[in-house]
Amino acid sequence: MIKINFEHAPAKISEKKFSKIMEKFKSRGQEFFEILDESTADFHSFAAKFSGKYDEILVLGIGGSALGTRLLADFFGNKKLHVLDTLDPDEVSKFPKSPNTLVVVISKSGGTLETMKLRDHFVEKMPIDRFVVISEKNSNLWNWAAEKKIPAFEMPRNVGGRFSVLTSVGLLPAAVAGIEIDEILVGAKKMRDEFLRENGLPWQLARTIFESGKSQLVHFPYISKLKTFGAWWTQLVGESLGKNGNGFTPIPAVGPTDQHSLLQLLADGPDDFFTIFVENLEFEKNPLGKIANAELRATAESLAEKNRPSATIKIEKCDAETLGELIALWQGTVALLGELLEVNAFDQPGVERGKVLTKKFLGKL
């Protein structure tokens, strides 16, 4: 189990009661932790049937339907699994990379503009039996899959897109690509137990961030495998908590590289940053890793000398189980921060307005 060092983030005496915060969270009806108990047999069965048939798994999605899957692919260094989440013609033209490609179309609503346009683009180029769909049941995309007689997997209705990486959204493509998904879930379930426990790690981290009074969060692992984790984390924090004038600006970084780009700002810029480092204790067995960890500790200490708060997440090793713990840690922390900020962490009204205006401008073309 991961640990968190709060040495450089002295906690204030909290007036917030865990039981009341948890009660408010449960009233939201979100099931991203309950879904962890569902069987993965269908994913494994599909993977066993098709994984050997395809050289490439291409996911078409955006936001929560893409970032989690890319996180899994990059963390495990999986060269078979690719994610396309842009309409940039130059990038789109690079795919498919193989004639033996399975296309996974993911949209919770079943009508996401970018994803539907990408689907239409690739349907013109590839046989329809190379497609599989992940969406809410009875959405337009779900019904399209039924019409075309292609496989469809349900996306849980009570799990928001940015909380969906450990559902069919992330687990199905990962399984087909050969990633061991069950070990990820083992770690996530451990952290779920922490989430439900008073003074568990998600509550400690949420309360410490909230009480810091800072409005900018820096995710700063000194672990290259967690670089893409930062993009997933950015959406989770930004889209969940940025409401009603509240929230945190998420800044993803990777050490030691960003010591040479961000540290000057964190140390001598506006005093509005809370930094969360991630340290791999297994690095101590390697002379280069030892230097990386020393740099992390020195960076945290240098910030502390200027009364700039931070916390350090310490992991024993960077494996599938630990990844599950980290994903669930931040899902739980963000859910609790939403209640502390008195915002609904599970909607995105600002994003919806942008979608409406996009259709307006497209109508003028």
Residues annotated as part of the active site: 239, 260, 355
How far apart CA 292 and CA 280 sit, in angstroms, is 9
Q: In the numeric block, which tokens belong to residue 64?
A: 């929560």
Beta bridge partners of 280: 315
Separation CA 173–CA 141 (nearest Å): 17
**Do residues 105 and 119 lie in contact, with contact meaning Cβ atoms separated by under 8 Å?**
yes
Question: What is the residue-wise DSSP string for 156-191?
Answer: PTTS-GGG-TTSHHHHHHHHHTT--HHHHHHHHHHH
How is residue 56 written in tokens? 């490439």
- Angstrom CA distances, 147 to 102, 128, 143, 144, stand at 19, 11, 6, 5
Residues 6+ apart with CB under 8 A from 138: none
Query: Which residue carries 């410490």 as its tokens?
Result: 208
Q: Which residues pair with 274 in a beta bridge?
A: 217
Name the phi and psi angles at 104, rounded to 5.
Answer: -105, 115
Label residue 31 exposed, middle or buried (CB < 10 Å: 0-12, 13-18, 19+): middle
Contact, 256 vs 293, CB < 8 A?
Answer: no
d(CA 288, CA 298): 15
Q: What length does the chain have?
A: 365
DSSP 83-146: EE----HHHHTT--SSSSEEEEEEESSS--HHHHHHHHHHHTTS-GGGEEEEE-TTSHHHHHHH
Residue type, 327: I
DSSP at 21? H
Residue bearing tokens 């609503």: 109
